[in-house]
A = this chain, B = another copy of it.
Amino acid sequence: MQRSKWWGWGDDGKSYHIPDPERFWDYVRARLGPTVFHPPVASLERCEVRRSRLPLSLVAALSNIVGNSAVLTSKTERAGYSLGKSYRDLVRIRAGRVPNPTDAIVQPRTSEDVRAVLDIAARERVSVIPFGGGTSVVGGVEPESDGLVLTVDMGGLSAVVKIDPVSATAVVEAGITGPDLERQLNEAGFTLGHFPQSFEFSTLGGWLATRSSGQNATLYGRIEDRVEALRLAYPGGNLATPDVPAAAAGPDLVQFVCGSEGSLGIITEAKMRLARLPKVRDYRGYAFESFGEGVGAARELMQYGLHPAMIRLSDEPETESTLAMRPPPTGISGVVESAGRWYMARRGIRLEAAAIMIVGFEGEKVSVDHQWNEAKRVLKGYTAFSLGSGVGRAWQASRFEAPYLRDLLLDHGILVDTLETSTTWDNYVALHAAVRDALHGALGERSVIMAHLSHSYSDGGSIYYTFLAPQERGREVEQWERAKVAATNAIVQHGGALSHHHGIGSEHLPWMESYIGSEGMHVLASLKASLDPAGVMNPGKLLPRSQGASRG
């Protein structure tokens, strides 16, 4: 079964803890107006899910490969695998709607099983959706509206096959989740250093298929930088890329597969580059007088040649919201903050109107200390006030919690979603404003639009937006689409990346051609045709369904 609760994020018994509820809801209601209680339907059993249309002969053929108990066709099982975790998904599942249920789930245990399932699917023209953690927020795991569909749950391929401490690499099966992988690597003294917000539930295969980027990617690299070699099962074959640290032997086949979002085949295994477990983690907070000032500092930290594990810079609205959500600071933190506020006030700046940055360094103590000395020297060139390490610790403690908060807001009838992009530094502040304005225009006055810089590079950075508004009851999806279209149009028109780390799926597909051009689409379509001529691999995700591809 899915690893998250069917109607929202994460473990069933767990919900978001608001330290100071009164203060938090005051903040929310002051901006969005009164909230209404709007719970999900009572149970998955109550959802409308059409019957599986998979012929019994096909169920039997699949059972022959993976065993009877590894072919799931019940209504609730199929419902649980037929939506991801986007706002659009949650609105629908909470209302008991699963409009496009998969026809069956197969749970292979070996790469040979995966291959055999794909061969049957291609022969029988059944679409295949690879399923890792089911955490896609761009429609990556939802079936299309027509045709037979098979979901392949990769959870059975979840072994750490080999850790090589000499080369600092690990061969890992693709269905492993973040915590399972990281625990085994940690025991050997290593880390992959890959911590996307979905870390607790998403899988290595999902990360690779979507070009995932973790919260510490500024130091450890994006997932596509961390993979030395991989194996892809596709209908009719297996692609295994050479197992070398670097090569000049034609275009890099690894990079053909990273980001393919299941449209070429299923990643079954990868050899990942590891880092040593850092001895020290030192994260600290700074308040900048404006987001633009903080962006300048982030740029300078990167171009100066430092290697922070993270630079996270909230814009003014996100800073205000963060401060509204936390408990009032006490003890040392309270003293530090009071001192900071006093210094800031002398320069006419309020903390709530500032832009808070969290910078972290990780590694050997002497190296972390050295980098902090250098970072402080860089930050002296900007109007930045130290907030100490309490802010950093608070962030670390809650780094995977935001999706739980989303469920809580949905319970109160609030639209809440995130979207993200990236651009070069010269275009950063302009793009930040353009998308913010587009969202404000689409959602109206009663909304909160906030953003942060989540990933920095020498040449640019990402922008991660969170937006809230009171839901338009009965028109939740249309309201969201209005905002999504406005924001994505602004992104593409202003030269931003169509996605920095969420991926394309079905939700970003309408903009794909204007983003990479018809020539780029042609190249990707040719690549797909070469490995999946029947067009059965996750159709309608990343690429439009091709003219030539058949339907089930």
User: Footprint of B on A, CB under 8 Å?
Assistant: 164, 166-169, 210-213, 222, 224, 228, 237-253, 255-261, 273-276, 299, 303-305, 307, 363-364, 366-367, 370, 373-374, 422-427, 455, 457-462, 495-504, 508, 512, 515-517, 519-520, 522-527, 529-531, 542-543
Contact = CB atoms under 8 A, between A and B. Distances in A.
A258 B247 contact: no
A245 B515 CA distance: 14
B251 A524 contact: yes
A69 B257 CA distance: 45
A516 B245 contact: no
Contact of A222 (B246, B503, B531): B246
Copies of this polypeptide in the complex: 2
A414 B497 CA distance: 54
A367 B305 contact: yes
A273 B460 CA distance: 10
Contact of A523 (B461, B516, B520, B530): B530
Contacts of A240: 517, 519
Best-buried of A237, A245, A425, A500 by chain B (most CB within 10 Å): A245
A250 B367 contact: no
Nearest to A364: B305
A520 B425 contact: no
Given A224-B252, A276-B304, A305-B367, 14 more contacts: A166-B299, A168-B303, A239-B517, A242-B516, A243-B495, A244-B422, A245-B422, A245-B424, A246-B422, A246-B462, A248-B259, A249-B504, A251-B259, A527-B530
22 contacts: A164-B424, A167-B459, A167-B460, A169-B459, A213-B248, A222-B246, A241-B516, A241-B520, A244-B422, A245-B459, A246-B422, A247-B422, A248-B500, A248-B504, A249-B512, A250-B524, A250-B543, A251-B255, A251-B257, A253-B523, A526-B529, A527-B530
